[in-house]
């Protein structure tokens, strides 16, 4: 969008397409009101200025195909420079590993959250939406931790999102990660079937702990390479719990290198001496069934240069 500062939009009626159906009205407005802060979007929803089929709705309202949405006139307050999210979205385009008319798979960079919130103005989904203002539908199909890099699927059609998430629930999506564990782990191949529970700490920090009364979680660790003081492993997920690999690795006594939350301070300091500036956890391979063709799709994401350099230093040490 290129307008003068404090430009005012006109009221307009937008008909919800079949691909846009099922999403919440607040997310719908974010895409149709580029440059308008989310706080202002929630304000006009509370005031009843946004109408669906001539009636007032709440921010959690889910749209139906054919709904008529009245978007009120707004003062956008944007200038001719692209929003931060839009520029970030353009930088993400070269990281797309595979794209069809139904989905795309991105090699998500470490340090970028999958979505905004908790003090972040934008994440992957907001950035790509800003870079693709004409895209009728774009949603996260699953999630990765902010510091985790690698394969991330985004749905371009609601029908694909529904099928992909059904495959996730049925355990039909194969997810493999590369993780560098601290210490010489001699497990070879080991399945860790240990239940996990989320805990909210004082101050709002979220932690996940091993808890017999928690949710079942399964991770299969297999040795890829051994080094002095570290082990590179492949981890296949049988479930997709929050922080699952990180907590299971710590439970084994060999936390993920560079993990500030569940890791070991001394081991992390040693890894920083080798140039590790982030957590060494990478979603390297993702396999799922394309519901349109029934073909099995396999996508792999290469390690970034920084992690590759750490492995080279370990090999030569």
Residues contacting residue 78 through CB under 8 Å, at least 6 positions apart: 1, 3, 5, 7, 34, 35
Residues contacting residue 50 through CB under 8 Å, at least 6 positions apart: 25, 29, 44, 57, 69, 70, 71, 72
192 has which bridge partners? 219
- Give DSSP secondary structure letters for 81-124: SPPHHHHHHHHHGGGEEEE-SSEEEEEEPTT--SS-BTTBS--H
- For residues 34 and 130, the answer to whether their CB atoms sit within 8 Å is yes
Choice among 67, 101, 134, 145 that is catalytic? 145
Q: Virtual CA dihedral for 41, 47, 51, 54, nearest 10 degrees?
A: 180
For residue 202, how far is the Cα from the chain centroid? Answer: 25
- For residues 156 and 102, the answer to whether their CB atoms sit within 8 Å is yes
Active-site residue flag, 145 = yes
Tokens representing 269 are 């300091």
48: left (phi over 0), alpha (psi -120 to 50) or beta: left
Angle between helices 124-131 and 84-92 (to 10 degrees): 90
Q: Catalytic positions, please?
A: 145
């Amino acid at each position: 969008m290129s307008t003068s500062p404090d430009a005012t939009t006109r009221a307009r009626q937008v008909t919800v397409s079949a691909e846009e159906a099922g999403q919440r009205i607040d997310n719908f407005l974010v895409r149709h009101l580029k440059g308008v802060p989310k706080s202002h979007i929630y304000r006009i929803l509370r005031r009843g200025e946004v109408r669906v089929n001539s009636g007032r709705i709440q921010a959690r309202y889910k749209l139906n195909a054919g709904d008529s949405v009245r978007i009120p006139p707004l003062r956008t307050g944007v200038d001719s420079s692209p929003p931060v999210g839009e520029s970030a979205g353009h930088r993400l385009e070269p990281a797309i590993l595979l794209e069809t008319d139904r989905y795309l798979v991105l090699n998500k960079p470490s340090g970028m959250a999958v979505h905004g919130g908790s003090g972040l103005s934008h994440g992957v989904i907001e950035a790509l939406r800003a870079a693709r203002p004409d895209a009728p539908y774009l949603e996260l199909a699953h999630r990765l931790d902010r510091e985790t890099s690698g394969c991330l699927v985004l749905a371009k059609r609601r029908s694909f999102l529904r099928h992909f998430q059904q495959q996730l629930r049925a355990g039909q999506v194969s997810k493999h990660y590369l993780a560098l564990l601290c210490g010489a782990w001699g497990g070879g191949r080991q399945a860790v079937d240990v239940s996990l529970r989320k805990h909210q700490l004082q101050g709002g920090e979220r932690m996940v702990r091993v808890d017999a009364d928690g949710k079942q979680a399964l991770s299969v660790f297999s040795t890829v390479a051994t080094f002095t003081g570290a082990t590179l492993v492949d981890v296949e997920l049988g479930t997709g719990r929050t922080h699952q690999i990180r907590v299971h690795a710590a439970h084994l006594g060999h936390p993920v290198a560079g993990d500030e939350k569940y890791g070991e301070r001394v081991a992390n300091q040693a890894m920083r001496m080798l140039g590790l500036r982030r957590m060494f956890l990478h979603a390297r391979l993702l396999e799922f069934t394309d519901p349109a063709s029934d073909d099995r799709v396999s996508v792999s994401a290469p390690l970034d240069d920084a992690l590759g350099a750490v492995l080279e230093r370990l090999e030569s040490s």
